[in-house]
Amino acid sequence: MAAAIPAAPRKVLPLLGAANFHDRIFRGVVVCFGAIALLAIIFVIVGAMVEQSVVSVNTFGLNFIWGQNWDPVKRQFGALPFIYGTVVSSFIALLVATPISIGVAIFAVEMAPPWLGNTISVVVELLAAIPSVLLGLWGIFVMIPFLQTTVEPWFIDRFPNVPLFQGPPYGVGLLAGGLILAIMVTPTIVAISRDVMLAVPISQREAMLALGATNWEATARAVLPYCRSGLLGAIMLGMGRAVGETMAVTMVIGNRADISASLFHPSYTMASVIANEFTEATYDLYVSALVEVGLVLFVVTVLMNAAARLLVWSTAQSSQQLGAL
Amino acid sequence: MATMALRPTADIVRRQVVDRTMGALLCLSAIVALTPLALVIGYVLANGLAGINLDLLTKLPKPVGELGGGMANAFLGTLIVILLASIMGVPIGMLAGIFLSEMGNNHFASVLRFLTDVLTGVPSIVIGIVAYTLIVVPMHSFSALAGGVALALIMIPVVTRTTEEALRRVPQSLREASLGLGVLEWKTTLFVVVPSGIGGIVTGIMLAVARISGETAPLLFTAFGSRFWPDGLNKPIAAAPLQIFQYAVAPYKDWHSQAWAAAFLLMLLILGLNIGVRVVTRTGFQRIR
């Protein structure tokens, strides 16, 4: 008996060794070509952006961000007009899209019957898939004529002394850019806020309803406060999308590097200037300046995305912990 | 007393009015949100159908100023670039997804997961600059390859995360059963876990393809566009979204109608992929259950 037992491992061990070897190869392949490759891509992206913008960073330093002149002929590069255009158009987009999007999410999750709520979410997700060049096409041929002939003259007539509504109605401009961005970020904000609200434990609502609260009261006092940080994350993800969005904005914002208080004035965003001028950049400093605009854009969107993801994660995790209790 | 208490007081009426009003407002916000999106689809359908003809899919663009011609090269170019991107992006994305799902219980994996999520949010124009730096500068030419690399970079994080999610949905008991029978870990992963989650993985890949097929910004200075048939992977290549952009901002009426028609076809492809995926996965899930 005792002698029979050691015999088995002797046969099995080489096999096990081979098995271990095969598994190690597999793990190696997965780690190298999956994980490490992904990590390498992230480093390459950062590296490429930094390397290409070094010339511009060294030449202009911080003046690049505060400079108001963008004049390739005179080799003057200041990115402030683009930063201004990006900030203002994204701000308009969020101002319009946030209340509506969160309203849609609340309606779909808390108010509507399940079939309607699900239909709305599916449709909204489909709409997120529409490429921005199609929205830009629609913007050029439908939205801009409408703004130019109807909306902007109305504001100019009613509020002649408000700086926001000065100047001739071009159609293209900050307002057009902001509105097209609002359309684009709505699906993003709706989808994430819906996920966040679905993660709120059902007991939160039941407790309020059992106390005699109406549906809206339960939503406003038990659900929304619970997922506040997640909703903030959803808005920030929308903002990240608005800031980095290129094609639709380029097609409707007018592409003029001016800083003007008027919403009807043509403007320019960081993404659009790269899209329009990159292939025309004829000397190294010009290319480098455009890449530096991209680097600023990259850093801003990465920071916003990182913060947003952390907020969304924290909501999901806190409700998971509560569910475990 | 009891009947007195049951009679609605002014306070309850007020609360119910608030409840109804908010319900109506929220419903209104849903309508407001869906209207512009419905308008976009409606206009693309109407104008696209008006401009569509066989030339669009079979002929090359005519020289500037001449009427007629098509965008056959752009559609072929889009297919080639998507194919290139998938060849590069799908294996890396899938392997990274397998890593995160099957070997992902450590700090490195958490960091990687987070970075992947953040990578999805990097603006596509920035990805364009990266591909320009990596491929166009050393090759001294805009090229189909550079376009493919740019789109692959966009595709990888999407495929990674969807693969991970699909594999995480595979029940742990399946892995245990396979390992318990003495099947090696790599065989378990490749022949038990991955096939069980293949529906979700394919869904992810199709959604990623749908996403990159409409991307324009990263192609501007990588694929660059062309008015001729594709001519090798190291030469500039046409792509439908690029052509739509160029035609839309040009001053020619004929180009505008071609842009609408191409937009219609592109939308059909993208919405078709998205809806198809949903239909297939729904029936697929039912079969598993």
Residue type, position B2, single letter: A
Q: Which of A260, A307, A299, A273 is nearest to A88 (CA)?
A: A260
- The answer to whether B43 contacts A142, with C-beta atoms less than 8 Å apart, is yes
Question: pTM of the prediction?
Answer: 0.89
Q: Who wins on pLDDT, A15 or B23?
A: B23
- For residues A166 and B190, the model is more confident at B190
In a domain, B25, yes or no: no
| Residue B21: inside a domain | no
Which B residues, 239 through 258, put their C-beta within 8 Å of a C-beta on chain A?
241, 244-245, 248-249, 256
Q: Would the pLDDT of A4 be above 70?
A: no
A121 confidence band (pLDDT: 50, 70, 90): confident
Q: Could you tell me if A316 and A221 lie in one domain? A: yes
Give the per-residue pLDDT at B283.
57
CATH code assigned at A234: 1.10.3720.10
Q: B207, B188, B184: which is closest to B101 by C-alpha?
A: B188
Which residues have CB under 8 Å from A32's CB, separation 6+? none
The whole domain housing A308 covers: 63-324
For chain A, the distance separating the N- and C-terminal CA atoms, rounded to the nearest angstrom, is 52
Q: Distance between CA A126 and CA B273 in Å, rounded? A: 10
Maximum C-alpha span of chain A: 104
Asked if residue A203 and residue A276 are part of one domain, the reply reads yes
Does one domain contain both A294 and A146?
yes
Among partner residues A49, A216, A305, which is closest to B118 by beta-carbon distance?
A: A305
Q: Which of A60, A91, A109 is a domain's end point?
A: A60
- The pLDDT score that the predictor gives to residue B59 is 86
Overall average pLDDT of the A159-170 stretch: 84
- pLDDT for A8: 45
pLDDT reported for residue A273: 94
Rounded to the nearest 10°, the torsion over CA A31, A34, A38, A44 is: 80
Diameter of chain B by CA atoms? 90
Q: What percent of chain A has pLDDT over 70?
A: 92
Mean pLDDT of A195-217: 90
Say yes or no: A148 and A264 in one domain. Answer: yes
- State yes or no: pLDDT of B248 exceeds 60: yes
CB contact under 8 A, A131 and B266: yes
Hey, are the CB atoms on B23 and A111 less than 8 Å from each other? yes
Q: How confident is the model at residue A5 (pLDDT cuts 50, 70, 90)?
A: very low
Q: Are residues A42 and A70 in the same domain?
A: no
Question: Which residue on chain A is closest to B135 by alpha carbon?
Answer: A48
Do both A33 and A77 map to the same domain? no
Range of the domain at B279: 54-288
| The pLDDT value given to residue A18 | 67
Beta bridge partners of B83: none
Rg, C-alpha atoms of chain B: 25
Whole-number mean pLDDT of chain B? Answer: 88
Q: What is the CATH number of the domain that holds B196?
A: 1.10.3720.10
pLDDT band at A15 (very low <50, low <70, confident <90, very high): low
Mean per-residue pLDDT, B180-206: 90
Total number of domains in chain B: 1
Residue at B14 is within a domain: no
- B69 φ, ψ to 5°? 85, 175
How far is B176 from chain A, CA to nearest CA, in Å?
16
Q: Do B217 and A141 touch (CB under 8 A)?
A: no
Is the predicted pLDDT of residue A145 greater than 90, yes or no? yes
> Does residue A12 register a pLDDT over 70?
no
Interval B119-174: pLDDT, tens: 888 999 999 999 999 999 999 999 999 999 999 999 999 999 999 999 999 999 99
Return the structure tokens found at A119: 């239909």
A-chain residues near B213 (CB < 8 A): 131
* Pick from A239, A132, A156: nearest CA to A192: A239
Rounded to the nearest angstrom, the gap between the alpha carbon of residue B277 and the centroid of all alpha carbons in its chain is: 12
What are A227-285's pLDDT values in tens digits?
A: 888 899 999 999 999 999 999 999 999 988 888 888 899 999 999 999 999 988 888 89
CA neighbours closer than 13 Å in the CB half-sphere of residue A60: 27
d(CA A263, CA A165): 6
Tell me how close the Cα of A194 comes to any Cα of chain B, in angstroms. Answer: 13
Q: Please give the full DSSP string across B63-117, using - where no structure is assigned.
A: PTT---B--HHHHHHHHHHHHHHHHHHHHHHHHHHHHHHHS--SHHHHHHHHHHH
Q: Does A134 share its domain with A263?
A: yes
Residue B35 lies in a domain: no
| Pure H helices in chain A | 4-29, 37-60, 63-66, 80-106, 114-128, 132-138, 144-146, 152-158, 174-198, 202-210, 215-218, 228-244, 247-252, 270-277, 284-324
pLDDT of A3 over the 60 cut: no
pLDDT (tens digit per residue) in B60-95: 888 877 788 888 999 999 999 999 999 999 999 999
Q: What pLDDT is attached to residue A312?
A: 83
Kindly provide the b/e burial profile for residues B228-245, where b requires at least 16 CB atoms within 10 angstroms of the residue's own CB: eebeeeebbbbbbbbbbb
- Whether B220 sits inside 8 A of A271 (CB atoms) is no
The answer, yes or no, to whether residue A323 has pLDDT greater than 60, is no
DSSP state of A282: -
Do A116 and A231 belong together in one domain? yes
Kindly state whether residues A219 and A316 are assigned to the same domain. yes
Average pLDDT, chain A: 87
Local confidence band at B289 (pLDDT 50, 70, 90 cut-offs): very low
Measured CA to CA in angstroms, residue A200 lies from A102, A314, A321 at distances of 15, 12, 11
Instruction: Give the rounded distance of the alpha carbon of B75 from its chain centre.
Output: 17
Q: What is the pLDDT of residue B5?
A: 55
A58-85 confidence digits (pLDDT tens): 888 888 888 888 888 888 898 999 999 9
Residues A99 and A197 in one domain: yes
Instruction: Indicate whether A49 and A71 sit together in one domain.
Output: no
pLDDT mean over A156-168:
85
Quick one: closest CA in B to A105, which residue?
B30
Q: Are residues A242 and A125 in the same domain?
A: yes
Looking at residue A17, its pLDDT comes to: 67
* Structural domains in chain A (count): 2
> Mean pLDDT, to the nearest integer, of A173-177?
93
Q: Do A214 and B16 touch (CB under 8 A)?
A: yes
